[in-house]
Amino acid sequence: MEPPEDKRTPLDEAEGIILRWDSTASEEAREKMIFDSDRNEVDRYLQAVDEIQRSLSSTTINNESSNSDESGLNSTIRIAMARLEDEFRNILLSHTAPLEAESISFSSNPSSSTHSHGQVDDHEDEGEHDHV
């Protein structure tokens, strides 16, 4: 049973924020992205992740918590990391510019590519001969 709202610890609040955005448990979390929300929600989520990480570090150092507490924290941080991976993937996909066919050149001969500094080629050739 959870403590009353006014008695919740920062750790309880952090877990609540992370679990609210768990895409495996909520239809809304599956449909919305945190980083598409307002900046305050993004900050709250990242601060919640920080709180869980601090708690995990301190319980590992102090060995104060039970195994079930640590297991719960590990589960929560895994949920948060999976969500952050999804968010990052979404950001990358939404900001990817398509390549134009004219800007891509294909060469069947790898030695036909040019380098801006001819000295690099000379050193590469010398290095290959030294090892033979």
> Per residue in 96-116, pLDDT tens?
877 777 777 776 665 555 555
Q: Are 12 and 39 in contact (CB under 8 A)?
A: no
Cβ atoms of residues 80 and 48 within 8 Å: yes
Place of tokens 């590990």: 74
Band the pLDDT of 95: cuts 50, 70, 90.
confident
pLDDT tens readout for residues 22-34: 988 888 888 999 9
pLDDT at site 101? 74
Residue 68 included in any domain? yes
Is 94 strand, coil or helix? helix
Question: Residue 130 falls within a domain, yes or no?
Answer: no
Domain interval for residue 11:
5-97
- Give the whole-angstrom CA distance, residue 34 versus residue 21: 8
- Does the pLDDT of residue 119 top 90, yes or no? no
Q: Is 83 exposed, middle or buried (CB count within 10 Å of its CB: 0-12, 13-18, 19+)?
A: buried
Asked if the structure places residue 49 within a domain, the reply is yes
* pTM exceeding 0.85: no
Report yes or no on 120 lying in a domain.
Answer: no
Number of domains in the chain: 1
| 38 inside domain | yes
